[in-house]
Structure 1
Amino acid sequence: MNTRSSGGPGGRAVVVGASMAGLCAARVLSEHFGSVTVIDRDQLTTDAGRRPHVPQGRQPHLLLHAGTRLLEGWFPGVIEELYAGGATPFDICRDFYWHQGGGPLIRPATHMVGPVMSRPFLETTVRRRVANLPGVTLRGGAPAEGVLTGDHGTRITGVRLSDGSALDCELLVDATGRQARSLGWLKELGYGEPPTSVVTVDTHYVSRIYRRGRRPARDWKAAAVIGAPGTRRLAMALPWEGDRWIVALVGVNGELPPMDEAGRLAFARSLDSPVIADVMAASEPLGTAVGHRFVANQRRHVEHMRRHPTGWVLIGDAVCSLDPVHGQGMSTAALQAEALGQALQQSRSVDRTFARRYFRAAAGSVAVAWSVTVGSDFAYPGTRGKKPPGTDLINRYMNRVTLAAQHDEAVCVRFSEIAGMVRRPEWLLTPPCVLRVLRLSRRGPARVPA
C-alpha cells in the first residue's frame, strides 16, 4: 500500500537502473513521492529471462536473511509467492552443507529461513510487485544519457534519455551498478568523484545448470566446499526453480576453473569434500557452462563527498560492489534502500541535509559487509589493496571459528547469523564466545561423511 509520509518531498523521483537495488529504491521512494519512474536500458519483460546487461545473472545468488526480511516487509506475501513459483525454502544453517577448514559445519535448525532461486526469477517477481505500486512506472529500453540541472548546476532537475526526451525529477537515484554512470555526467558539470577503495581479488566463476535428481541421497539443499586458501579454489551448488541446480566452480587470484565438463568434474574432485562433484556426476547438464570474472571489490566513500549536486544519490553496487562469492550484494542493496527511506522520512525536502543523512547511513550499511568480505579475500594469496585494520588477526581467529562451528551448534548459529547479516561480527568477539571458540577449535576438523 502506498503510504506517502506527510511533510515528505512529494513530486517525482527517477531511478536509473532496474536492478534489485533500483527496485528496492523505487519501493521506498513510493512512500514519499507522488510519482516514481524506473528506467533501464534493457527491455523489462514479464518472464524470468536473463537481462543482457546483467551478466552475473547467470551465476548463483543468495538472498540473505537481512534481505529476505526487508523484501517481505515491503511486499507482504512475496516470499510465499517465490515459493509458489518454485523457489526452495532454505535454512542457511540446517539446509546448507558447508565444508571448510577440513570438515563440515554442524547444521542445527534456525530462524533464518528464506527462498533460494535464480536471480532472474527473483528480479522478475519483485519487478512485478513494484510495477503494481500506485504512482510507480517502469520504462524499459530507455537508456539515460545525462542530467538536467538548475540553480547554476547545483541541483539535479531531470534526466535526459537517449531518444532525446527528458524526465523532470526532484530526486535522481543512480542504481546503474559499479560503473555509476551518473558520475560521468556530473564530471561534465565540474564535480569530482567520491574517494574510492579498491581491493583486487580477481575471482573467476564458471557455472552450469543441471537437472536435479534424487541421487545421491542427501539431507541438505545447498552445498559449498571452500578449499584451503593456498588452493584458491571453491565450489557451490544451489537449488534453482524448475528442479534445477546451479553449480559454480570458483578460482581466486589467477586460478581458472575449466569450461569443459570433464575438467569441471576434476576441479570439483580436487576439493576436500566430494559433495559438489557427486552432484555434478549424478545430474543431467543443461546448456553450456558460463564464465564470469570479478576483478575487484570497490567501495565509493560517498559519506566523504565534499561537493555534489542536490537531488542526486547513489545506491547498490554504485556505492559498494563486493565479491559475489560472499553472497552479500542483494541484501546490502536492500539495506541501503532502507537507509534511503529513513533519510527521506527524517527530511522535509530533498536538500543537502537529506543527502548527508543518506550517505552516512548508506556507508554504515555497507561498512560491515566490506570489512567481512575484504577481510576474507585477504586470506587468499595475491589479494591486493588496503587491508582493514586487524585483518590478519581476525582471519586467524575465523579459522578457529570455522573449526569450532564443526562441533558446536551455538558457534555455528552465531557464525551463520553474521553471514546472513543478522548480527554484527562483534558478536563473535564477546569473551564467552571467544573462550568457547578457542576451547572447541582444539578438537580439529570434524571427520563426518557428507
Structure 2
Amino acid sequence: MSSEHTVIIGAGLAGLLAAAVIGATGRRVTVLEQDRSDGSPVPRGGVPQGRQPHVLLYRGLCAIEELLPGLRAQLIAAGGVPLDTGDLAWLGERGWAPFGIPAFELVSATRPLVEHLVRRRVAAQAGVELRSGARVSGLHRPTTATGGGWLIESANTPPISADLVVDASGRSSRLPHWLARCGTGEPPTTTVDAGFGYAGRVYAAPPDHLGRVAGIVMLPTQSAPAGGVALPVEDGRWLVAAVGAGDHRPPRDPEGFDAFLARLRDPALSEFTRSARPLGDITVHRRTNNVRRRYDRLTPWPDGLLVIGDALCAFNPVYGQGITVAATQALLLRQALASAARPGWQRRLMRLFHKATDLPWAIATGEDLRHIGAQRQRPGADTLFARWSGEVDRLAAHGDLRAQRTLDRVYHLVGSPIELFNPALLTTALRGRLRGLPAPTPRPPFATGTGTS
C-alpha cells in the first residue's frame, strides 16, 4: 500500500466519493466527520436538508454507478423506487410538461439511504478509515525542517499530518479562513440568494398511489413563487416538500403547511396529502443560497490541497444539482490520479472542478435571479439566453417533444445548453409565433380521487 496519506474533511457524499476514488489507488485515506454515526441510514446533523426530498439527476446516478458499480441495484434492493422522469407530473412556468414519454430512469430514495449505502461501500475499502466525531479546527503547513504536507488540527483529537487534504465539508467550510491565516488569502466569493425556504413531511402511501403518475413537481415561478414536490421513497413512504421564496416561504405547523399546499396553482399536492397518511413532524430548511468560491483565482494555489462539492460551489437544493456535481468532480479526480502526477496537478484539477460547476451554476442562479427580479441586473447574454430557454419551455408546454427532451438533457446535466439552439427548435418557435402553437399539454392522468380537477 502507498505510504501517502490523504485526509478528507467531511463525510457527506462529496467526501465519501472522493475517498472511494483515492482509496482505490492504494493510498491511505482518513475521512474526518464531525457528526457521530452508528452506521444506520438516518439524517445527519451536518446535512440539515437531509430530511427533504432529493432528486438525484440522471448524470449523477450514472457517475455514482461508474464510481461504485452496482450501487443502483443496491438502492432498489434497499427499497429505492425506480421511476422514469417522463412519468413525473411536472408543472413549469408555462404549464404541464408532456407526460408518459420515456425519458431518464432514476431511483428515488432518501438521502440518508443513499449516503448509508455509499458509506458502507467506501468503509469496506482497504486503507480507508472513517472517523466520526472529529471536529476540524484548523489547517496549516508544518514548520518542521522536513516541510511539505499539511497538519490538520482537531478540537477533540491529536493533529493529523497528510500529503493531500480534500475539503469536502460543505457550505460551512472554514477553508477560506484557514487559507487566510496561512497567507494564501481568501477566494473571491459570489452569493445569489432568492430567499427560498422549504417545509417537508413524510407520508405513508404505496408507490402507485397516483396511478400512472410517478411523482409531482411544481416549480415556483416569478409570478407564482410557491411550489412543491412529492416523491415516493423506500418503505412505502413519500416525501412531500413545500417551497417558496421570500414572504411565500412555507410554515412549520401542520395547519399552515396544509393551507400552503391548498393555495398552490394546482391542487395535485394538496389532494395527495389529504389522501395519504402523515408520519411525524414537519421539518424546515432555510439555507438555500447559491455560493461559489473561486479558488481557481487564488495564485499560487498550494500543493496538496483540493476542494470538492458544496465547499467549492453550493447550489439552491431545489434544483437537485449538488450530489451530481460532486459525483462528476469525483470522476475528474479519478482521471487525474490515473495519469502521471506532475507538479501542480492539484491546481489544474481545481480548474476542472470549477468548470464542472459552470452549467449547474448558470441554471440555478439564472432561475433564482428571476425571482429576485429588479434587485439584480443580469448581463445581456444571460438575459437573452433566459428568454430563449423560456421560449423552448413554452414549446414543451404545448407538446413539442423535441423541446422537452432537450430541456430534460440540459436539466439532468447530460446535454449542453447549445442543444437549446437546435435549428429545428428555432424553426418551430418562429412558426409558432406566426401561426400559433398547438393546444397546451393536458394535465397528467392522476389516479382517481388523487390530484383530480
Q: CA RMSD in A?
A: 2.3
Query: Structure 1: any 5+ residue segments left out of the alignment?
Result: none
| Equivalent residue in structure 2 for 1:196, among 178, 185, 189 | 189
Partners of 1:279 and 1:171 in 2: how far apart? 49
- Amino acid aligned to 1:411: A
The residue that corresponds to 2:448 in the other structure is: none
The residue that corresponds to 1:443 in the other structure is: 438
The residue that corresponds to 1:299 in the other structure is: 292
The residue that corresponds to 1:378 in the other structure is: 369
Secondary structure of the residue aligned to 2:247 is coil
- Amino acid aligned to 2:190: S
- C-alpha contact 2:8 2:165 (8 A) present in aligned 1: yes
The residue that corresponds to 2:396 in the other structure is: 405
Secondary structure of the residue aligned to 2:60 is helix
- Amino acid aligned to 1:43: R
The residue that corresponds to 1:357 in the other structure is: 348
- Amino acid aligned to 1:442: L
- C-alpha contact 1:96 1:220 (8 A) present in aligned 2: yes
Partners of 2:379 and 2:55 in 1: how far apart? 25
Partners of 2:37 and 2:339 in 1: how far apart? 33
Q: CA deviation at 1:182?
A: 2.6
| Equivalent residue in structure 2 for 1:251, among 227, 231, 244 | 244
| Equivalent residue in structure 1 for 2:112, among 120, 125, 131 | 120
- C-alpha contact 2:233 2:239 (8 A) present in aligned 1: yes
Deviates more, 1:163-172 or 1:368-377: 163-172
Deviates more, 1:105-114 or 1:222-231: 105-114
The residue that corresponds to 1:91 in the other structure is: 84
The residue that corresponds to 1:226 in the other structure is: 219
Give CA deviations for 1:177-202 in whole Å, capped at 9, x if unaligned: 12222332222222211111111211
The residue that corresponds to 1:30 in the other structure is: 23
2:381 paired with 1:390? yes
Q: CA deviation at 1:164?
A: 4.1
2:332 paired with 1:344? no
Give CA deviations for 1:47-70 in whole Å, capped at 9, x if unaligned: 111111211111111111111111
Partners of 1:156 and 1:212 in 2: how far apart? 53
Closer, same or farther in 2 for the Cα pair 1:90/1:208, shift >3 Å?
same
Partners of 1:33 and 1:267 in 2: how far apart? 52
Q: CA deviation at 1:162?
A: 2.0
Q: CA deviation at 1:33?
A: 4.5
2:328 paired with 1:328? no
- Amino acid aligned to 2:89: Y
Query: When the two structures are superposed, what TM-score results if normalisation uses the length of structure 1?
Result: 0.91
- Amino acid aligned to 2:368: D
| Equivalent residue in structure 2 for 1:136, among 128, 145, 150 | 128
Q: CA deviation at 1:413?
A: 1.6
Deviates more, 1:320-329 or 1:104-113: 104-113
- Amino acid aligned to 2:298: M
Query: Structure 2: any 5+ residue segments left out of the alignment?
Result: 446-453
Partners of 1:258 and 1:165 in 2: how far apart? 43
Partners of 2:439 and 2:262 in 1: how far apart? 23
Q: CA deviation at 1:408?
A: 2.2
Give CA deviations for 1:26-55 in whole Å, capped at 9, x if unaligned: 111123352111110111222111111211
Secondary structure of the residue aligned to 2:76 is helix
Give CA deviations for 1:363-404 in whole Å, capped at 9, x if unaligned: 110001101111111221458557355232222222222222
| Equivalent residue in structure 1 for 2:158, among 140, 161, 165 | 165
Secondary structure of the residue aligned to 1:201 is coil
Percent of pairs identical after alignment? 31
Secondary structure of the residue aligned to 1:286 is strand
Q: CA deviation at 1:95?
A: 2.2
Give CA deviations for 1:263-312 in whole Å, capped at 9, x if unaligned: 32232232222211111110111111111113521111122111342111
2:142 paired with 1:147? no
- C-alpha contact 1:160 1:167 (8 A) present in aligned 2: yes
Secondary structure of the residue aligned to 1:427 is helix
- C-alpha contact 1:50 1:58 (8 A) present in aligned 2: yes
- C-alpha contact 2:207 2:236 (8 A) present in aligned 1: no
Q: CA deviation at 1:217?
A: 4.1
Query: When the two structures are superposed, what TM-score results if normalisation uses the length of structure 2?
Result: 0.91
Partners of 1:298 and 1:13 in 2: how far apart? 26
Partners of 2:382 and 2:100 in 1: how far apart? 29
Partners of 2:441 and 2:101 in 1: how far apart? 19
| Equivalent residue in structure 2 for 1:312, among 300, 305, 313 | 305
Give CA deviations for 1:345-371 in whole Å, capped at 9, x if unaligned: 33425x4x2122111100110001101
- C-alpha contact 1:10 1:32 (8 A) present in aligned 2: no
- C-alpha contact 1:15 1:175 (8 A) present in aligned 2: yes
Q: CA deviation at 1:338?
A: 1.6
- Amino acid aligned to 1:418: V
The residue that corresponds to 2:47 in the other structure is: 54
- C-alpha contact 1:205 1:248 (8 A) present in aligned 2: yes
Secondary structure of the residue aligned to 2:364 is helix
Partners of 2:376 and 2:135 in 1: how far apart? 34
The residue that corresponds to 1:178 in the other structure is: 171
Q: CA deviation at 1:316?
A: 0.5
- Amino acid aligned to 2:384: L
- How many residue pairs match? The answer is 440
2:412 paired with 1:426? no
- C-alpha contact 1:70 1:334 (8 A) present in aligned 2: yes
Secondary structure of the residue aligned to 2:370 is coil
Secondary structure of the residue aligned to 2:239 is strand
2:357 paired with 1:366? yes
- C-alpha contact 1:180 1:314 (8 A) present in aligned 2: no
- C-alpha contact 1:108 1:409 (8 A) present in aligned 2: no
The residue that corresponds to 2:451 in the other structure is: none
Partners of 2:302 and 2:376 in 1: how far apart? 30
| Equivalent residue in structure 1 for 2:266, among 273, 281, 284 | 273
- Map 1:74-85 to 2 at 5 A: 74-85=67-78
Deviates more, 1:149-158 or 1:251-260: 149-158
- C-alpha contact 1:208 1:246 (8 A) present in aligned 2: yes
